[in-house]
Amino acid sequence: MRSLCLLTILLSVTLATLNISDDERHELSRDLTLWQKKFGHDDHVRAAMKLVRGTLTTDDLLRRLKATKDQLPTIRAANPHATFSHLTKFALLTDSEFARFVSGSASVVTPLPAAPASTNRSNRSATVSGNAYSVDWTTQSICVPPVKFKGNCGSNWAIVAAAAVSSTHCLTTGDAINLSAQQVLGCSYPGGTDGCKGAGFAQHAMQWLVSHSDALCSESAIPYTSGETGLAPFCSDSTKCAGAFALQAGPIVNLRGEAALTKQLQLQPVVAFVATPNHIWKSYRGGIVTWCPPTVYVDQAMLVVGYGTHDAGFNNNTLLPFFKLRNTWGTNWGERGDIRILRGEGNDEGICKLAANLVYSTLPPMGASKATLPPMGASKATLPHQP
Q: Is residue 335 part of a domain?
A: yes
State what percent of residues in the chain have pLDDT above 70. 79
- Are 253 and 163 in a shared domain? yes
| Cis check: omega of the bond before 190, within 30 degrees of 0 | yes
- Are 52 and 128 in a shared domain? no
* Among the ranges given (144-153, 267-276, 314-323, 344-353), the one the predictor scored with the smallest mean pLDDT: 314-323
Q: Residue 149 has what DSSP assignment? A: B
Q: Is residue 214 part of a domain?
A: yes
- Distance CA(355)–CA(298), nearest Å, equals 11
pLDDT at res. 352: 93
| CA torsion, ordered 347, 348, 352, 354, to nearest 10 deg | 130
- Are 235 and 307 in a shared domain? yes
Q: Is residue 1 part of a domain?
A: no
* Dihedral of alpha carbons 159, 162, 163, 165, sign: positive
Could you tell me the CATH number of the domain that includes residue 245?
3.90.70.10
Q: Is residue 258 part of a domain?
A: yes
Q: Is residue 59 part of a domain?
A: yes
pLDDT tens for 289-340 read 999 988 777 889 999 999 999 987 755 567 899 999 999 999 999 999 999 9
pLDDT at res. 57: 86
Asked if residue 90 lies in contact with residue 183, where contact means CB atoms within 8 angstroms, the answer is no
- Are 214 and 276 in a shared domain? yes
Average pLDDT (111-126) is 38
Asked if residue 138 lies in contact with residue 366, where contact means CB atoms within 8 angstroms, the answer is no
- Are 160 and 59 in a shared domain? no
pTM over 0.75: yes
As a whole number of Å, the CA-based R_g of the chain is: 22
H-run or E-run covering 9: helix 7-10
pLDDT at res. 189: 80
State what percent of residues in the chain have pLDDT above 90. 53
Confidence band for 10, pLDDT divided at 50, 70 and 90: very low
* Mean pLDDT estimate for the chain: 81
* Among the ranges given (165-174, 297-306, 345-354), the one the predictor scored with the smallest mean pLDDT: 345-354
- CA angle, residues 207, 212, 218, in degrees to nearest 5: 100
343 or 56: whose pLDDT is higher? 343
- Are 309 and 169 in a shared domain? yes
- Distance CA(264)–CA(363), nearest Å, equals 11
pLDDT at 99 over 50: yes
pLDDT at 238 over 60: yes
- Are 269 and 335 in a shared domain? yes
pLDDT at res. 309: 93
Print the domain residue range for 265: 122-361
Q: Is residue 111 part of a domain?
A: no
- Are 305 and 226 in a shared domain? yes
Asked if residue 61 lies in contact with residue 95, where contact means CB atoms within 8 angstroms, the answer is no
Domain count across the chain: 2
Q: Is residue 93 part of a domain?
A: no
- Are 66 and 128 in a shared domain? no
pLDDT tens for 130-143 read 346 899 999 988 99
Q: Residue 338 has what DSSP assignment? A: E
- Are 322 and 238 in a shared domain? yes
- Are 174 and 26 in a shared domain? no
pLDDT at 384 over 60: no
Residue ranges of E strands in the chain? 82-84, 135-136, 252-255, 270-274, 284-289, 300-311, 319-326, 338-342, 358-361
- Are 267 and 154 in a shared domain? yes
Q: Is residue 161 part of a domain?
A: yes
